[in-house]
């Protein structure tokens, strides 16, 4: 995205070491460093009352208000938190006299999806897919589409490893036009659908998230059919082999809900486990005597029950 390529006013005024004091609530935040920057605004690490938090500021105050609206409605969704929790929203008048609206949220610490999977192994791919699909399902059920789903907006929190969304700037009400997006993850950019907020929009982006994990430099659109191009990209990744069909269907927009896709991911994992189990069974036949014994015992028990039942009838 046009991070440092677009000219923003606040970037010139906010530097590490300065204090941002709210006009209404009078809380003072010490800016420590920049955490990230998007099309709408910049997120800084800040310190306040000895605690660390994340502070987001933008040149357009209305978009901050809109994001806070989203955060507030996400806090109402039951279950695992869907976004960072909101700490404060306020205005700041800069030394140059410009007024900015900012909000402060919980600072989530973790690891990027790509580095976690690289370190901990490919068996986490399916786990994170399921976690993300579960969160998406709850989000969609409550009437929202995430919109700007991308690796930058996802963090893996530790013990236990759990994916969390850290920026909800693109979250849009179902049926409307997606508020914010990143080209690589956007089906509109690939010519594979509209930018209307519907579950299939997020599911497409989810596929791109996992492609980005294995293509760290991403890749660009080709003149030929994007659909074939993306499917080839999926098929070229060895680690994604078990999920090929599911990922392809999501690119083609075949899933109406994330629950549908989730079921098929579970099937893939089950299938994969069965395959690897039968493979190990063949390899180490001697050690299988115990489960075989148990299985034989189970069958005998079942047979006895049937026998008794037939006696009763």
Partner 1 sequence: MKKGTLKQILLITDGCSNKGEDPAATAALANQQGITVNVIGILDDQTEQPEGLQEVEEIALSGGGVSQLVYKQVLSQTVQAVTKQAMTQTLQGFVNKELQQILGSGQSMEDLAPEKRGEIMEVVEDMGETCDLEVLVLIDTSASMHDKLPTVKEALIDLSISLNSRIGRNRFCIYSFPGKKKDIQKVFDWSPQLDAISTVFPKLTSGGITPTGPAIREAMYQFGRKSLRRSFRNGNEPGVEEA
Q: DSSP class of residue 243? A: G
In the beta sheet, which residues pair with residue 156?
Answer: 111, 163
Task: Please say which residue, 161 or 188, places its beta carbon nearer to partner 1.
Answer: 188
Q: CB-based contacts of 45: which residues, under 8 Å, 6+ apart?
A: 31, 32, 33, 34, 35, 52, 53, 54, 55, 107
Task: Please say which residue, 7 or 307, places its beta carbon nearer to partner 1.
Answer: 7
Least spacing, CB of residue 4 vs partner 1, in Å:
10
Q: Return the sign of the alpha-carbon dihedral for residues 71, 72, 74, 75.
A: positive
Q: Are strands 41-48 and 154-157 parallel, antiparallel or unpaired?
A: unpaired
| Catalytic center residues | 148
Q: CB-based contacts of 234: which residues, under 8 Å, 6+ apart?
A: 207, 211, 240, 244, 247, 248, 251
Q: Are 135 and 202 in contact (CB under 8 A)?
A: no
Task: Please say which residue, 8 or 164, places its beta carbon nearer to partner 1.
Answer: 8
Q: Alpha carbon of 115 to those of 52, 53, 122: distances in Å?
A: 24, 23, 11
Least spacing, CB of residue 63 vs partner 1, in Å:
8
Least spacing, CB of residue 51 vs partner 1, in Å:
21
Task: Please say which residue, 41 or 242, places its beta carbon nearer to partner 1.
Answer: 41
- Token pair 């791109």: residue: 208
Query: Cα angle at 130 between 124 and 136, to 5 degrees?
Result: 135
Task: Please say which residue, 101 or 258, places its beta carbon nearer to partner 1.
Answer: 101
Task: Please say which residue, 125 or 251, places its beta carbon nearer to partner 1.
Answer: 251
Least spacing, CB of residue 15 vs partner 1, in Å:
20
Q: Are 207 and 184 in contact (CB under 8 A)?
A: no
Per the structure block, which two tokens stand in for 12? 């010139």
Least spacing, CB of residue 117 vs partner 1, in Å:
28
Where b means 16+ CB within 10 Å and e means fewer, 23-46 reads eeeeeebbbeeebbbbbbbbbbbb
Least spacing, CB of residue 199 vs partner 1, in Å:
15
Binding site for partner 1 (CB under 8 A): 1-2, 5-7, 24, 39, 60-62, 65-66, 68-69, 72, 89-91, 99, 101, 175-178, 183, 188-189, 194-197
Is residue 61 within a helix (H) or strand (E), and if so which, with residue range? Answer: helix 61-75
Return d(Cα 257, Cα 133) in angstroms, integer: 9
Task: Please say which residue, 60 or 278, places its beta carbon nearer to partner 1.
Answer: 60
Q: Are 236 and 219 in contact (CB under 8 A)?
A: no
Least spacing, CB of residue 248 vs partner 1, in Å:
23
* Residue whose C-alpha is closest to residue 186's, from 240, 147, 223, 215: 147
């Amino acid at each position: 995205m046009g991070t440092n390529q677009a000219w923003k006013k606040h970037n010139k005024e906010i530097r590490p070491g300065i204090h941002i004091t709210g006009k209404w609530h009078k809380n003072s935040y010490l800016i420590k460093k920049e955490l990230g920057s998007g099309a709408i605004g910049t997120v800084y690490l800040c310190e306040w009352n000895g605690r660390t938090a994340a502070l987001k500021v933008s040149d357009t105050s209305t978009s901050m208000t809109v994001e806070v609206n989203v955060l507030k409605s996400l806090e109402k969704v039951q279950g695992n938190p869907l976004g960072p929790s909101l700490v404060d929203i306020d205005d700041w008048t800069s030394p140059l006299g410009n007024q900015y609206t900012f909000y402060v949220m919980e600072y989530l610490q973790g690891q990027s999806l790509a580095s976690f999977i690289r370190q901990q192994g490919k068996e986490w791919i399916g786990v994170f897919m399921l976690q993300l699909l579960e969160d998406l399902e709850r989000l969609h059920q409550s009437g929202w589409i995430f919109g700007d789903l991308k690796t930058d907006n996802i963090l893996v929190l530790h013990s236990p490893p759990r994916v969390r969304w850290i920026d909800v700037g693109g979250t849009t009400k179902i049926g409307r036009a997606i508020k914010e997006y990143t080209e690589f993850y956007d089906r509109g950019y690939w010519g594979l659908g509209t930018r209307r907020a519907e579950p299939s929009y997020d599911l497409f982006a989810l596929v791109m998230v996992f492609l980005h994990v294995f293509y760290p430099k991403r890749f660009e659109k080709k003149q030929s059919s994007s659909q074939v191009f993306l499917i080839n990209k999926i098929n070229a990744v060895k680690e994604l082999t078990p999920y090929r069909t599911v990922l392809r269907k999501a690119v083609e927009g075949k899933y109406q809900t994330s629950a549908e896709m989730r079921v098929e991911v579970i099937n893939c994992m089950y299938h994969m486990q069965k395959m690897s189990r039968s493979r190990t069974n063949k390899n180490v036949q001697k050690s299988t005597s115990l489960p075989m014994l148990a299985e034989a015992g189970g069958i005998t028990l079942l047979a006895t029950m049937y026998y008794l039942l037939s006696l009763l009838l």
